[in-house]
């Protein structure tokens, strides 16, 4: 059974650009959550999607957005990139929302903003 | 004050030692308590979880939750070099959302 797949694995962008990251959940999983991991702040919740609807959102500016498609794949977008957006972006999938004890993470996309 | 506090370490122990990892938290609404292990350049993987207070054992790993003290622990017995990783505690309210709050993570090195 394939795990959570995130693409690309590594990305280098320039300040002011925008970026789109992709997450394919485990087959059958319908809930996808996104997290940002930095050395200073650790893992922070960005947002959660289920059935193509955003159900919950963390405390991040509106430059961070996401969506989910009918096949449960999810994308997140960061516009007007800032140096502080450099981080490992992780997505986690689960069968349903709230199943934190059954959430599986992908390997992440490491974004570097220069 | 952060919602979840975890000593980032680093923690270095000899092979075979008992390791104790801890987190404290401030939100009494947390009901689910998870421990994740994260190897370098990998995503976190769930080690074990506990619902509410109590102990849970899985092989060499034991998780303890004391909700009255808002304190959770992970013990690793007979530690192995392969246990070298960053250990993250995570918590959630369990109210039908996946908004987990994580500790900063403790970097553990087990020396042969």
**pLDDT tier, B21 (very low <50, low <70, confident <90, very high otherwise):** very high
A83 φ, ψ (degrees, to nearest 5): -55, -35
Q: Closest chain B residue to A89 measured between Cα atoms? A: B43
Q: What does each C-alpha distance from B32 to A60, B7, B97 come to in angstroms?
A: 24, 20, 12
Residue range B86-102, pLDDT digits in tens: 999 999 887 666 678 99
CB A47 within 8 A of CB A54: yes
Establish if B40 touches chain A: CB-CB under 8 angstroms.
no
Tell me the per-residue pLDDT of A63-84, one tens digit each, with 9 for 90 and over.
Answer: 999 999 999 999 999 999 999 9
Mutate to test the interface with A, among B10, B99, B107 (most CBs of A within 10 A): B99
Q: Which is more confidently placed, A60 or B95? A: A60
């Amino acid at each position: 059974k394939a795990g959570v797949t995130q693409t690309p694995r590594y990305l280098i962008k320039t300040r002011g650009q925008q970026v789109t990251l992709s997450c394919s959940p485990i087959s059958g999983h319908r809930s996808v959550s996104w997290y940002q991991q930095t050395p200073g702040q650790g893992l922070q919740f960005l947002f959660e999607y289920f059935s193509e609807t955003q159900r919950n959102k963390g405390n991040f500016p509106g430059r961070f957005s996401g969506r989910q498609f009918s096949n449960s794949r999810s994308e997140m977008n960061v516009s007007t990139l800032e140096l502080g957006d450099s981080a490992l972006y992780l997505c986690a999938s689960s069968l349903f929302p709230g199943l934190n004890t059954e959430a599986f993470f992908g390997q992440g996309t490491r974004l570097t903003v220069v | 004050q952060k919602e979840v506090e975890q000593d980032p370490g680093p923690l270095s122990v000899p092979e075979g030692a008992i390791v104790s990892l801890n987190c404290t938290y401030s939100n009494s609404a947390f009901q689910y308590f998870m421990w994740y292990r994260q190897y370098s350049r990998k995503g976190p993987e769930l080690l074990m979880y506990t619902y509410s207070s109590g102990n849970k054992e899985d092989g060499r790993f034991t998780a303890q939750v004391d909700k009255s003290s808002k304190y959770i622990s992970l013990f690793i017995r007979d530690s192995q070099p392969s246990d070298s990783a960053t250990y993250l505690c995570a918590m959630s309210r369990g109210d039908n959302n996946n908004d987990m709050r994580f500790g900063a993570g403790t970097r553990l090195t087990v020396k042969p």
